[in-house]
Amino acid sequence: MSKRPFTALVDNSVSRFAMTARPSHRTMAGPMNSTVTVLGVQGKPRRPALERWLQDQIDAIPTVGRLTKEGGLTLCLSPELELEGIKGAMFGEGALPGDALSGIEFRRVPSPIERSKLQQMDLNAYVGKEKLIEFCQWLLDLSASSVERLSRLPKLDDFESLNVRGIARFRELCRGLSHEHYADAFHLWTAEVNNLDCYLVIDQKFVNALTQTTRASLIVKPLAPSELLDEMGVTDREPLPIPPREWRPLF
């Protein structure tokens, strides 16, 4: 029997740092002593020595992409993470060369509770991270009677109703965290209820807060890319799609 792929819910911090190049223009010689401006991409410079850990995570992302394409790893997205991607600065950059996760087909997994069934507002407001944080605070503040009523709402499916009744687990993850980390705790809970192996994230502040402040028992590990490769026993590394500072024309 073949071993099932390792599964990871991918935070947008990983997608953002997967962009290892940025748009760049160069003036080049053209015909008849003219010059032309050529659109291209240039590899981002390496991080300074003080950011060695972050550079290690960036260097690991191409191997994460390779393992996914080979079938040993399944990368997943939730509706909330897709919304964050729309709002985030990296939206639209994926078509550029230099994306270490280009060509990856992400598996969609459901949120523990689909927020759109309980909140209606303008899309620009809805996709803001602060609205997810407000939703998390609302869940944390539910009384026992409110939890029971919410779990019985016809608009929620069986999966969501089960998660509402298990809201104590989300509270455990959030205990001791500041509001700014509630969204990541929600993503970690998403990975748990979907029986994934890890939450792939590049955010030391969240991981430190989760492991040093809340000390919650972790069913699913929050892992940085290099830690994921260590967990899978992978030692070889793929090179970056475009080496640091190298320039390439787009056309």
Q: What length does the chain have?
A: 251
Are the beta carbons of 150 and 164 closer than 8 angstroms?
yes
The residue with greater pLDDT, 108 or 88, is 108
Domain boundaries, the chain: 6-243
**What are the tens digits of pLDDT across the range 178-197?**
999 999 999 999 999 999 99
**What are the tens digits of pLDDT across the range 112-132?**
999 999 988 777 777 778 899
**What are the tens digits of pLDDT across the range 29-82?**
777 778 888 888 999 999 999 999 999 999 999 999 999 999 999 999 999 999
Is 186 exposed, middle or buried, given 0-12, 13-18 or 19+ CB atoms closer than 10 A?
A: buried
Residue 12 pLDDT more than 80?
yes
Q: CA 100 from chain center: how many Å?
A: 14
Residue 210's pLDDT band (cuts 50, 70, 90): confident
Distance CA 197, CA 179 (A): 25
Query: What 8-state DSSP symbol labels residue 3?
Result: P
> What residues form DSSP beta bridges with 41?
23, 248
SS (H, E, C) 96-155: CCCECCCCCCCEECCCCCCHHHCCCCCHHHHCCHHHHHHHHHHHHCCCHHHHHHHHCCCC
By DSSP bridging, strand 247-249 and strand 35-43 are antiparallel
Are the beta carbons of 76 and 9 closer than 8 angstroms?
yes
